Chain A
């Protein structure tokens, strides 16, 4: 297949040939009197910088993933109101897997109502049927 000759193709071809020439040239031509150990030290210094940066990026990715999970959990928590959470808990009290004194429900703070809602949801999701979940 004939490739159209363009400035881009010409320059890229030139660079590709240059790379091949670099690869094929003997070490003595590449170094031209430079100390190979010193050149290696320069390369390893670049590698050390790369290692440091790669570690930093992995840390950032890990933190981002954790933050994302936290964000999703928070979204779940705030996606219902305390009143809705209480209604859900009241309904769940009919489920034999969960036990809680009825009088406790009205005494719960909004925060506790949401927390218990989350716990029940988690227990339901984990499918821990057969075991009582005392709250």
Chain B
């Protein structure tokens, strides 16, 4: 999936942000941006043994600061953080499945990898076609189905998302008018917010 987050500025993986620039970029995030990043990380941490979303997000920032990951210039913070969170969670899942975690192995193939390679020393690509990944995904889909059960419209929106459809196109595909679709979309977003689901305010 291509995420148009560079606002027409060229992505330059060969010219990553310096440590000072990374500090400034993260410290400049708004409360809403932190919340977005935490919600995404929280979703990525679901069914991840021993990890919370905040653990994943903190680890992603740590990897940037420790120089284990690079931040290509002109890529927005949420895209960078989301990609690293995705990689970490994939690595943890693979490590859990194989019974051994090698924290020194860095894996690329992030969300925005179609646009750039933001690892310094990436060695393996994430291959989601392994039997373990397939079992894991099935488990996640079952959990998602249980979470959404009872709200037909929300389930339809989720199905549209699985087909990579959004907005008007998604509404048409699942046979909902735009207003109904948008209301269901908002309910889906709320259901996916684990902090809310767990009754925590943060």
Are A and B a genuine interacting pair, yes or no? yes
Q: What distance in Å separates the Cβ of B83 from its nearest Cβ neighbour in chain A?
A: 10
Q: What distance in Å separates the Cβ of B139 from its nearest Cβ neighbour in chain A?
A: 9
B43/A18 in contact, CB under 8 A: yes
Residues on the A chain within 8 Å of B134, using CB: 6-8
Q: How far is the CA of A44 from the CA of B26 in the complex (A)?
A: 8
A43/B37 in contact, CB under 8 A: yes
Nearest chain-A residue to B19 (Cβ)? A54
Nearest chain-A residue to B32 (Cβ)? A27
Residue from A9, A40, A46, A54 in contact with B31 in the complex, judged by beta carbons closer than 8 Å: A40
Count of chain B residues with Cβ under 8 Å from any Cβ of A?
56
Segment of B115-123, B162-170, B173-181 engaged in the interface with chain A? B162-170
Residues on the B chain within 8 Å of A122, using CB: none
A75 at the interface (CB under 8 A from B): no
A107 at the interface (CB under 8 A from B): no
In B163-202, the 8 Å CB interface with A consists of 163-166, 185-186, 189-190, 192, 201-202
Residues on the B chain within 8 Å of A37, using CB: 31
Given contacts A11-B162, A23-B36, A46-B57, contact A29 B141 (CB under 8 A): no
**A 1-37 to B, binary, CB cutoff 8 A, 1 in contact else 0:** 0000011111111111111111101010111101111
Q: What distance in Å separates the Cβ of B50 from its nearest Cβ neighbour in chain A?
A: 16
A57/B62 in contact, CB under 8 A: yes
B61/A46 in contact, CB under 8 A: yes
A110 at the interface (CB under 8 A from B): no
B27 at the interface (CB under 8 A from A): yes
Residue from A14, A38, A46, A50 in contact with B144 in the complex, judged by beta carbons closer than 8 Å: A14
A100 at the interface (CB under 8 A from B): no
Q: How far is the CA of A19 from the CA of B5 in the complex (A)?
A: 12
A18/B31 in contact, CB under 8 A: no
Count of chain A residues with Cβ under 8 Å from any Cβ of B?
44
Residue from B30, B59, B164 in contact with A27 in the complex, judged by beta carbons closer than 8 Å: B30
Nearest chain-B residue to A3 (Cβ)? B164
Most buried by A among B60, B62, B129, B185: B62
A67 at the interface (CB under 8 A from B): no
Residue from A22, A39, A41, A51 in contact with B40 in the complex, judged by beta carbons closer than 8 Å: A22
Q: How far is the CA of A51 from the CA of B58 in the complex (A)?
A: 9
Q: What distance in Å separates the Cβ of B178 from its nearest Cβ neighbour in chain A?
A: 15
Q: What distance in Å separates the Cβ of A22 from its nearest Cβ neighbour in chain B?
A: 5
Residue from A7, A19, A50, A51 in contact with B141 in the complex, judged by beta carbons closer than 8 Å: A7
CB<8 Å pairs between A and B, sample of 30: A8-B133, A8-B136, A9-B128, A10-B137, A12-B128, A14-B158, A15-B44, A17-B161, A18-B40, A18-B43, A19-B78, A21-B166, A21-B185, A22-B189, A23-B36, A25-B189, A29-B186, A29-B189, A30-B35, A30-B36, A37-B31, A39-B202, A42-B202, A43-B38, A46-B34, A50-B58, A51-B65, A54-B65, A57-B66, A58-B66
Closest 8 CB pairs of A and B: A43-B34, A36-B31, A39-B31, A54-B65, A50-B61, A27-B32, A40-B31, A17-B161
